């Protein structure tokens, strides 16, 4: 149970380079804005090609059914229809997608369209292409599919029962993956405990961040070369290509991914490969470009959801003073009909095993199962959010049961800032953070000192006031080696990102990124970094919008996901720019007849530090290398076109012990929420809200704060109304924005923010990735509701989503949830 500061054998250090303070750390105007505010953004559906056909997918109306036959003849007869695609063709023309899991999950056969069987309601079964969107929609209705319905499985807890329907016969089981994690000595912790709190069941629900722009692509196929160009909004094309190329039986380079502007993604545009492959096959078959834009209903039913996780038989040994000694839990993760990016979610939570706390003894029994629901994807907060919600619930329930102050319990158990870098029980290293300070600031934002008085005052108005805290971590920059823990056969580890920076013939600085921004302002922040290194302004730096694999500015893990741009993307930009700067100095030195160390880059020139009159403007440097290079020294190795691959310092984890550093940085957030509940109706209002964020040094504070706002809105939406529930037939009950209520402007509480900057010792600029947020709003609201209802029999909040109906149930029958919590004194 001792505290640990990390002293790894090979210390993680980052070389200091001289970077002049300048634009990094300031709020420069966003480059993206000019086109976006004028409606000149180029989103997938905005792109046109001559002769293109529009795709409409025919989807299964059954959650589980054998596909007996598909007849497309009537659809083909409709004038304006160009062609169709069915699962049979897909099974012949492609190989199943690469599965990440070990057996039995590895046996799952996943294709671009349903093959032989439909496994969730809305699964694409066939595709129709026509001259207009409307005709494609009409033709889809004429496709006749004969189904043989099968029993439906929508309960993850039932998935392992012997009489449960099995989704994938080849696997023979609904279990995608299972494993045990055991760190420290949980049995010793039990023995040492004064009390053991047991909780029967906690449930983290299914929802998603529903980006406003739906998925889509426009695919062209060039017969001469077999080259596909996919203009689409895939947010992780490096991995998309790894799935698609083998399936299509082509080399990776035959898939060119292009994107320009993307209207939000939040992890839901990572597993688009099935749809993209269908469109690739159609483009090749029909010899014309094909365009697909997902409908909102399709996105809810048949794109992706966040992981749904049920926590059972939780045990938390504690000392009477509230020191938490460890926890044990069985987790069942519901990944829907096909794993795809899963089972990575089965390990990714381990980046934050103890949450913000100094738990040293943790035992987790983790099982992931398939059900007849939409597949899941790394939705904002991916797998860590679910786990952090668990840890926050445990802290609040412990405090509740022991009648301790949740603020005090947190402070007693938080990892302390002087313990950073802190090694967790499973070998992850929290780089920096001051959770107690963030908590203090959050409490200040909501004027915590006045809570008692406000509680009384609210009570006089018939309202129950509650206050809740949500602490969370946003771990960023993955070590993909964690995938080896779920499957030792996998050959993925480390991480990377790429950037190129060149100085063109007229002195233009042009940057290409490997990332795929969806609103995070990468063009802007990249230009700040480049400007500071080259001694110019962000206006002098042109960053190409979007992503294009033809730029050769990408690698296997390229994309925008997992809260890492400030580390990986910026790391790549910095590396490429420093190379360029070095070359510029070398070239200038050769021309000016001095040493490169005598040359400085400032005000758009390369000049001698001691004699600024001896200067070459950037344009001159660019012109010399590109068009006027006679007479240069033969050994001058300068191209002024520099590419850099950022690689974080990771080791492969210890697969046996499931141990190792899984993420480079840990941003943190602490939120405080004040809620007033109408005791008669269960309707509640968030009357005060504070969010404190620490992502190390902030490259662009306004962008960071914007991410905090957005993550809070997503979390509060998920905590109050957003759910993807299924009925027993496997029908999704919230398949559009009418039923799936997201926060609108009037739904948002008064949101106050503050920040702390504890620089990361492991990164350039001391910045940490951030953006996902970690779902602190969910944790805080659950805590606030539980606190408010204490006087009414002390019901326990066991669900992550608490709409008014549910709050009323808690009020009506507090015993129902209390029954699942027991405290044993030892």
Range 209-228, binding other proteins (CB under 8 A): 209-214
Under the binding rule (CB under 8 A), the answer on residue 37 touching other proteins is: yes
Separation of alpha carbons 91 and 111, rounded Å = 7
Q: From 313-321, 396-404, 452-460, 739-747, give the range in contact with other proteins by CB under 8 A.
A: 739-747
- When binding is defined by CB under 8 A, the residue of 22, 25, 41, 814 that contacts other proteins is 41
Burial class (CB in 10 A: 0-12, 13-18, 19+), 22: middle
Under the binding rule (CB under 8 A), the answer on residue 775 touching other proteins is: no
Separation of alpha carbons 162 and 267, rounded Å = 34
Which CB sits closer to other proteins, 293 or 760?
A: 293
Q: Is the dihedral of CA 55, 58, 59, 61 positive or negative?
A: positive
Separation of alpha carbons 786 and 780, rounded Å = 10
Which CB sits closer to other proteins, 41 or 793?
A: 41
Which CB sits closer to other proteins, 44 or 229?
A: 44
Separation of alpha carbons 253 and 255, rounded Å = 5
Which CB sits closer to other proteins, 334 or 342?
A: 334
With beta carbons less than 8 A apart as the criterion, state whether 760 and 570 touch: no
- When binding is defined by CB under 8 A, the residue of 295, 312, 447, 651 that contacts other proteins is 295
Under the binding rule (CB under 8 A), the answer on residue 770 touching other proteins is: no
With beta carbons less than 8 A apart as the criterion, state whether 293 and 57 touch: no
**Strand 117-118 with 684-694, pairing:** unpaired
Under the binding rule (CB under 8 A), the answer on residue 814 touching other proteins is: no
- When binding is defined by CB under 8 A, the residue of 476, 507, 690, 710 that contacts other proteins is 710
Under the binding rule (CB under 8 A), the answer on residue 676 touching other proteins is: no
Residues that bind other proteins (rule: CB under 8 A) add up to a total of 77
- When binding is defined by CB under 8 A, the residue of 49, 195, 454, 709 that contacts other proteins is 709
Under the binding rule (CB under 8 A), the answer on residue 805 touching other proteins is: yes
List all residues 6 or more positions away from 218 whose beta carbon is below 8 Å from its beta carbon: 44, 47, 49, 52, 230, 231, 232, 289, 290, 291, 292
Residue written as tokens 């509480």? 749
Three-class secondary structure of residue 218 per DSSP: strand
Q: From 6-14, 24-32, 349-357, 623-631, give the range in contact with other proteins by CB under 8 A.
A: 24-32
Instruction: Give the nearest distance from C-beta 748 to other proteins in angstroms.
Output: 5
- When binding is defined by CB under 8 A, the residue of 117, 714, 768, 779 that contacts other proteins is 714
What residues from 375 to 404 belong to the interface with other proteins (CB under 8 A)? none
Residue written as tokens 């990440």? 100
How close are the terminal C-alpha atoms of the chain, in Å? 19
Under the binding rule (CB under 8 A), the answer on residue 772 touching other proteins is: no
Beta strands in 485-588 (DSSP E): 497-503, 509-513, 541-543, 547-548
Q: What are phi and psi of 613, to 5 degrees?
A: -65, -30
Classify residue 25 by its DSSP letter. T
Instruction: Give the nearest distance from C-beta 230 to other proteins in angstroms.
Output: 19
Instruction: Give the nearest distance from C-beta 57 to other proteins in angstroms.
Output: 11
Instruction: Give the nearest distance from C-beta 414 to other proteins in angstroms.
Output: 26
Q: From 65-73, 494-502, 585-593, 718-726, give the range in contact with other proteins by CB under 8 A.
A: 718-726
Which CB sits closer to other proteins, 207 or 311?
A: 207
Which CB sits closer to other proteins, 23 or 243?
A: 23
With beta carbons less than 8 A apart as the criterion, state whether 498 and 514 touch: yes
Under the binding rule (CB under 8 A), the answer on residue 737 touching other proteins is: yes
The helix (H) or strand (E) run that includes residue 484 is helix 482-486
Which CB sits closer to other proteins, 45 or 787?
A: 45
Under the binding rule (CB under 8 A), the answer on residue 755 touching other proteins is: no
Under the binding rule (CB under 8 A), the answer on residue 34 touching other proteins is: yes
Instruction: Give the nearest distance from C-beta 262 to other proteins in angstroms.
Output: 6
Separation of alpha carbons 410 and 435, rounded Å = 9
Under the binding rule (CB under 8 A), the answer on residue 799 touching other proteins is: no
Burial class (CB in 10 A: 0-12, 13-18, 19+), 637: exposed
> Is the bond preceding residue 520 a cis peptide, omega within 30 degrees?
no
Under the binding rule (CB under 8 A), the answer on residue 297 touching other proteins is: yes
Under the binding rule (CB under 8 A), the answer on residue 461 touching other proteins is: no
What residues from 158 to 217 belong to the interface with other proteins (CB under 8 A)? 209-214
Which CB sits closer to other proteins, 238 or 717?
A: 717
What are the angstrom distances between the C-alpha of 663 and each of 348, 423, 552, 650, 762? 9, 12, 26, 8, 11
Name the maximum alpha-carbon separation found in the chain. Answer: 88
Which CB sits closer to other proteins, 141 or 321?
A: 141
Q: From 32-40, 313-321, 602-610, 791-799, give the range in contact with other proteins by CB under 8 A.
A: 32-40
In DSSP notation, 320-378 reads: TTS-B-EEEEEEEEE--S--TTTTTHHHHGGGGTTTTB---EEEEEEEEE--SSPPB--
Instruction: Give the nearest distance from C-beta 750 to other proteins in angstroms.
Output: 9
What residues from 313 to 352 belong to the interface with other proteins (CB under 8 A)? none
Separation of alpha carbons 26 and 699, rounded Å = 7
Instruction: Give the nearest distance from C-beta 812 to other proteins in angstroms.
Output: 8
What residues from 513 to 542 belong to the interface with other proteins (CB under 8 A)? 518-521
The half-sphere exposure of 731 on its side-chain side, counting CA atoms within 13 A, is 6
The helix (H) or strand (E) run that includes residue 413 is helix 406-413
- When binding is defined by CB under 8 A, the residue of 134, 222, 456, 824 that contacts other proteins is 134
**Strand 227-232 with 463-478, pairing:** unpaired
Under the binding rule (CB under 8 A), the answer on residue 734 touching other proteins is: yes
Under the binding rule (CB under 8 A), the answer on residue 79 touching other proteins is: no
Q: From 188-196, 302-310, 369-377, 735-743, give the range in contact with other proteins by CB under 8 A.
A: 735-743
- When binding is defined by CB under 8 A, the residue of 320, 595, 629, 736 that contacts other proteins is 736
How many angstroms from the chain centroid is the CA of residue 260?
A: 20
Under the binding rule (CB under 8 A), the answer on residue 449 touching other proteins is: no
Under the binding rule (CB under 8 A), the answer on residue 507 touching other proteins is: no
Which CB sits closer to other proteins, 226 or 462?
A: 462
Separation of alpha carbons 339 and 742, rounded Å = 26
Under the binding rule (CB under 8 A), the answer on residue 264 touching other proteins is: yes
Which CB sits closer to other proteins, 590 or 748?
A: 748
Residue written as tokens 């004064």? 194
Site string for other proteins, 275-294 (x = CB under 8 A): ------------------x-
What are the angstrom distances between the C-alpha of 770 and each of 33, 236, 268, 381, 715? 21, 17, 17, 10, 15
Classify residue 567 by its DSSP letter. I
What residues from 618 to 637 belong to the interface with other proteins (CB under 8 A)? none
Instruction: Give the nearest distance from C-beta 58 to other proteins in angstroms.
Output: 13
Q: From 179-187, 189-197, 251-259, 798-806, give the range in contact with other proteins by CB under 8 A.
A: 798-806
- When binding is defined by CB under 8 A, the residue of 116, 179, 246, 804 that contacts other proteins is 804
Under the binding rule (CB under 8 A), the answer on residue 429 touching other proteins is: no
Which CB sits closer to other proteins, 209 or 368?
A: 209
Q: From 115-123, 442-450, 571-579, 717-725, give the range in contact with other proteins by CB under 8 A.
A: 717-725
Which CB sits closer to other proteins, 224 or 746?
A: 746
Instruction: Give the nearest distance from C-beta 218 to other proteins in angstroms.
Output: 13
Separation of alpha carbons 74 and 84, rounded Å = 11
With beta carbons less than 8 A apart as the criterion, state whether 671 and 779 touch: yes
What are the angstrom distances between the C-alpha of 461 and each of 22, 153, 490, 792? 53, 46, 60, 16
């Amino acid at each position: 149970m001792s505290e640990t500061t990390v002293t790894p054998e090979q210390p993680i250090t980052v070389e200091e380079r001289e970077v002049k303070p300048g634009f990094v750390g300031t709020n420069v105007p966003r480059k993206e804005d000019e086109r976006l505010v004028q409606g000149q953004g180029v989103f997938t559906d905005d792109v046109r090609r001559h002769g293109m056909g529009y795709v409409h997918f025919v989807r299964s109306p059954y959650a589980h059914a054998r596909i007996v036959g598909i007849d497309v003849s009537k659809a083909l007869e409709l004038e304006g229809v160009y062609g169709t695609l069915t699962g049979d063709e897909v099974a012949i023309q492609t190989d199943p997608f690469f599965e990440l899991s070990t057996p039995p999950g590895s046996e799952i056969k996943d294709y671009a369209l349903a093959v032989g069987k439909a496994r969730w309601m809305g699964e694409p079964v066939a595709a129709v292409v026509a001259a207009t969107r409307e005709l494609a929609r009409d033709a889809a209705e004429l496709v006749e599919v004969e189904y043989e319905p099968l029993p439906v499985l929508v309960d993850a807890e039932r998935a392992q029962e012997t009489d449960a329907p099995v989704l994938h016969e080849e696997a023979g089981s609904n279990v995608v993956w299972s494993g045990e994690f055991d760190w420290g000595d949980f049995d010793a912790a039990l023995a040492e405990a004064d009390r053991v709190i047991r909780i029967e069941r906690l449930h983290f629900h299914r929802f998603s961040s529903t980006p406003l722009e739906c998925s889509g692509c426009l695919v062209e196929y060039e017969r001469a070369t077999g080259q596909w160009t996919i203009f689409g909004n895939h947010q992780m094309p490096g991995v998309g290509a790894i799935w698609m190329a083998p399936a299509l039986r082509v080399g990776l380079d035959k898939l060119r991914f292009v994107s320009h502007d993307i209207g939000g993604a939040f992890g839901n545009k990572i597993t688009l490969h099935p749809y993209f492959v269908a469109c690739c096959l159609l483009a090749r078959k029909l010899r014309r470009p094909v365009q697909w834009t997902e409908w909102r209903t399709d996105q809810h039913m048949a794109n992706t959801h966040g992981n749904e996780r049920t926590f059972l038989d939780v045990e938390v040994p504690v000392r009477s003073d509230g020191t938490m000694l460890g926890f044990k839990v069985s987790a069942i993760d519901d990944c829907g009909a096909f794993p795809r990016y899963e089972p990575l979610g089965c390990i990714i939570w381990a980046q934050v095993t103890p949450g913000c706390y100094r738990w040293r003894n943790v035992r987790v029994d983790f099982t992931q199962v398939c059900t007849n629901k939409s597949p899941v994807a790394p939705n904002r907060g991916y797998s860590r959010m679910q786990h952090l919600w668990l840890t926050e619930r445990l802290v609040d329930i412990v405090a509740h049961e022991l009648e301790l102050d949740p603020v005090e319990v947190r402070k007693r158990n938080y990892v302390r800032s002087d313990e950073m870098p802190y090694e967790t029980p499973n070998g992850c290293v929290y780089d920096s953070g001051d959770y107690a300070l963030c908590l203090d600031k959050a409490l200040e934002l909501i004027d915590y000192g006045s809570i008692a008085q406000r509680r009384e005052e609210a009570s006089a108005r018939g309202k129950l006031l509650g206050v809740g805290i949500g602490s969370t971590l946003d771990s960023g920059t993955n070590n993909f080696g964690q995938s080896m823990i779920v499957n030792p056969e996998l050959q993925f580890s480390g991480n990377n990102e790429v950037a190129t920076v060149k100085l063109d013939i007229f002195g233009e600085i042009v940057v290409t990124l490997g990332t795929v921004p969806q609103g995070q302002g990468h063009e802007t922040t990249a230009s700040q970094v480049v400007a500071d290194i080259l001694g110019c302004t962000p206006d002098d730096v042109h960053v190409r919008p979007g992503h294009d694999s033809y730029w050769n500015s990408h690698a296997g893990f390229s994309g925008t996901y997992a809260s890492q741009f400030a580390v990986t993307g910026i790391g790549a930009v910095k590396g490429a720019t420093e190379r360029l700067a070095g070359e510029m100095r070398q070239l200038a030195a050769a021309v000016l007849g001095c040493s490169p160390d005598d040359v400085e880059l400032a005000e758009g020139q390369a000049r001698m530090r001691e004699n600024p009159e001896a200067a070459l403007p950037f344009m001159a440097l660019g012109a010399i290398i590109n068009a006027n290079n006679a007479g240069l020294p033969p050994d001058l190795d300068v191209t002024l076109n520099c590419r850099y691959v950022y690689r974080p310092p990771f080791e492969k984890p210890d697969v046996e012990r499931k141990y190792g550093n899984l993420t480079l940085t840990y941003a943190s957030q602490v939120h405080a929420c004040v809620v007033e509940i109408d005791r008669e109706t269960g309707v509640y209002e968030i009357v005060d809200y504070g969010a404190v964020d620490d992502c190390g040094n902030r490259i662009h504070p306004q962008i960071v704060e914007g991410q905090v706002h957005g993550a809070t809105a997503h979390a509060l939406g998920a905590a109050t109304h957003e759910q993807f529930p299924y009925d027993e037939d496997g029908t999704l009950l919230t398949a559009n924005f009418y039923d799936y209520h997201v926060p609108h402007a009037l739904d948002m509480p008064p949101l106050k923010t503050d920040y702390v900057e504890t620089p990361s010792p492991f990164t350039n600029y001391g910045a940490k990735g951030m953006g996902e947020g970690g779902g602190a709003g969910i944790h805080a609201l659950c805590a606030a509701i539980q606190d408010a209802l204490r006087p009414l029999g002390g019901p326990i909040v066991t669900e992550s989503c608490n709409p008014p109906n549910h709050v009323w149930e808690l009020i009506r029958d507090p015993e129902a949830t209390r029954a699942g919590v027991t405290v044993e004194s030892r």
